[in-house]
């Protein structure tokens, strides 16, 4: 110990004074050369961690992502231009590259602790890993894609018709590639609806609420309907954002009253919000829609546009006592945001009151193929649009 202290003291003595015996030229030249050697070595080592061989030296990468990319166009194509791991996953800008290397220290821990060293463990983390990368691409506008792909260099005439239409729009907005092209290189994670659906989460948060008899509530998700509190007879599905009144409670289930209209032709299985309005409140089985013990008939009216007879029917049904919303506005707030984010990716979205309620059905159906909505969000956005359509929002028409 003492020896080390005395050595440090001696070194400090020499360090802190001008060089006595080594010339300035030698010191500076030697330091310069050492710097070059160091920086060269440092960068070589750093770039070695930016190669495909290094990335797939981890079993989890080799077995999963490296296998998946081999089925895609980024691996093999007509022109033979291929992407390797760092081309997309390591930022090219030096400062961001170094930040990525620091962030990657977490992966070293993962490797040491075997966090994703089996297929099952990897699959359980796939969504999390994917979301990290999606966040990076979203923030920098898919900068790494643009290392090779440039909107200005795209020949739209060479694309498929559908492709050219979409790509021209994307080029106009200089859109982030990964907004649409998720899963281009590796398998998409399984989007678990129950974990992902915001409406299911909202409903889960309200689980365990108490419901007052005679008060109205709104469904958040597609809800099964039963004939009684034993839930042995399944009658159909209650759509999200449907209003019902609680009449009774028993055996962990609620007895509800649904005021609806149906078409008096055929089975009348679909229950609507209002006369001549194609806003779905619930859909029932053939038997249930004909079971007089379940409903009470009201007014009858004929729709001039279609010549169809409509009938008001008030149903009494049972649902599981789950999370239901007291405030319809909470559901509309969610729907509005979902509408704005989902439906403005490729074009400016139309104002809600631009169409009437029945027209929205067709418009919405035509767009479904371009987006990836879970069933509940799909239903709620449509209902939101219909409820704020020109039929109901006269001011903004």
The site for another protein (CB under 8 A) is made up of: 10-11, 14-15, 19-22, 27, 30-31, 34, 38, 42, 91, 93, 95-96, 98-103, 135-136, 139-141, 143, 176
**Minimum distance, C-beta of residue 91 to another protein, in the bound complex (Å):** 8
Task: Report the candidate in 136, 110, 134 with the shortest Cα–Cα distance to residue 122.
Answer: 110
243: left (phi over 0), alpha (psi -120 to 50) or beta: beta
**Minimum distance, C-beta of residue 176 to another protein, in the bound complex (Å):** 8
**Minimum distance, C-beta of residue 174 to another protein, in the bound complex (Å):** 8
Q: Measured between alpha carbons, how far is 48 from 101 in angstroms, rounded to an integer? A: 12
Structure tokens given for 253? 């289930």
**Minimum distance, C-beta of residue 22 to another protein, in the bound complex (Å):** 5
Nearer to another protein, 96 or 228 (CB): 96
Note the helical H segments in the chain.
2-15, 24-48, 52-55, 59-60, 66-69, 85-89, 94-103, 105-113, 119-140, 161-172, 193-196, 198-205, 286-290, 328-342, 357-367, 375-387
**Minimum distance, C-beta of residue 14 to another protein, in the bound complex (Å):** 5
Q: Which residues contact 339 (CB under 8 A, 6 or more apart)?
A: 349, 352, 381, 384, 385
Nearer to another protein, 27 or 247 (CB): 27
Q: Measured between alpha carbons, how far is 16 from 199 in angstroms, rounded to an integer? A: 68
Q: Measured between alpha carbons, how far is 208 from 194 in angstroms, rounded to an integer? A: 18
User: What's the burial of 140, exposed, middle or buried (CB within 10 Å: 0-12/13-18/19+)?
Assistant: middle
The interaxial angle of helices 94-103 and 105-113, nearest 10 deg, is 20
Please provide residue 195's backbone torsions phi and psi, each rounded to the nearest 5 degrees.
Answer: -80, -30
**Minimum distance, C-beta of residue 96 to another protein, in the bound complex (Å):** 5
Nearer to another protein, 9 or 157 (CB): 9
**Minimum distance, C-beta of residue 101 to another protein, in the bound complex (Å):** 5
CB of 270 closer than 8 Å to CB of 283? yes
Nearer to another protein, 20 or 158 (CB): 20
Nearer to another protein, 43 or 368 (CB): 43
Nearer to another protein, 32 or 370 (CB): 32
CB of 311 closer than 8 Å to CB of 264? yes
**Minimum distance, C-beta of residue 20 to another protein, in the bound complex (Å):** 6
Nearer to another protein, 131 or 306 (CB): 131
Nearer to another protein, 13 or 369 (CB): 13
User: DSSP string of 82-96?
Assistant: ---HHHHHS-SSHHH
Nearer to another protein, 81 or 109 (CB): 109
Residues listed for the chain:
397
**Minimum distance, C-beta of residue 15 to another protein, in the bound complex (Å):** 6
Nearer to another protein, 101 or 201 (CB): 101
CB of 200 closer than 8 Å to CB of 222? no
Structure tokens given for 296? 């009470």
């Amino acid at each position: 110990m003492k020896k080390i202290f005395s050595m440090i003291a001696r070194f400090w003595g020499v360090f802190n004074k001008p060089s006595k015996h080594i010339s300035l030229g030698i010191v500076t030249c030697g330091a310069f050369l050492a710097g070059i050697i160091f920086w060269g070595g440092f960068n070589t080592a750093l770039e070695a961690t930016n190669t495909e061989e290094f990335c797939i030296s981890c079993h989890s990468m080799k077995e999963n992502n490296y296998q998946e990319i081999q089925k895609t166009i980024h691996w093999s194509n007509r022109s033979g231009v291929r992407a390797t791991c760092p081309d997309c996953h390591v930022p090219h800008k030096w400062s961001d590259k170094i930040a990525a290397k620091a962030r990657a220290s977490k992966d070293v821990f993962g490797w040491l602790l075997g966090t994703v060293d089996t297929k099952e463990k990897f699959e359980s983390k796939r969504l999390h890993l994917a979301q990290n990368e999606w966040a990076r691409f979203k923030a920098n506008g898919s900068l790494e894609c643009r290392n090779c792909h440039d909107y200005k260099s795209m020949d739209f005439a060479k694309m498929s018709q559908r492709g050219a239409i979409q790509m021209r729009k994307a080029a106009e907005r200089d859109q982030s590639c990964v907004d649409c092209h998720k899963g281009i290189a590796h398998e998409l994670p399984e989007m678990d609806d129950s974990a992902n659906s915001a409406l299911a989460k909202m409903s889960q948060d309200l689980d365990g609420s108490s419901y007052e008899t005679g008060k109205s509530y709104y469904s958040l998700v597609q809800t099964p309907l039963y004939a009684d509190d034993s839930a042995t007879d399944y009658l159909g599905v209650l759509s999200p954002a449907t209003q019902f009144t609680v009449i009774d409670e028993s055996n962990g289930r609620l007895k509800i009253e649904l005021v609806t209209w149906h078409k008096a032709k055929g089975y009348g299985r679909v229950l609507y919000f209002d006369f001549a309005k194609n806003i779905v409140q619930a859909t029932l089985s053939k038997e249930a829609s004909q079971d007089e013990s379940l409903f009470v008939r009201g007014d009858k009216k004929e729709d001039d546009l279609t010549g169809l007879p409509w009938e008001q029917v008030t149903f009494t049904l049972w649902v599981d006592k789950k999370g239901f919303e007291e405030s319809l506005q909470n559901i509309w707030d969610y729907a509005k945001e979902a509408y704005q984010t989902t439906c403005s990716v490729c074009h400016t979205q139309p104002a809600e009151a631009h169409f009437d309620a029945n027209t929205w059905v067709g418009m919405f159906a035509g767009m479904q193929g371009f987006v990836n909505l879970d069933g509940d969000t799909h239903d709620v956005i449509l209902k939101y649009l219909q409820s704020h359509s020109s039929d109901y929002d006269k001011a903004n028409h």
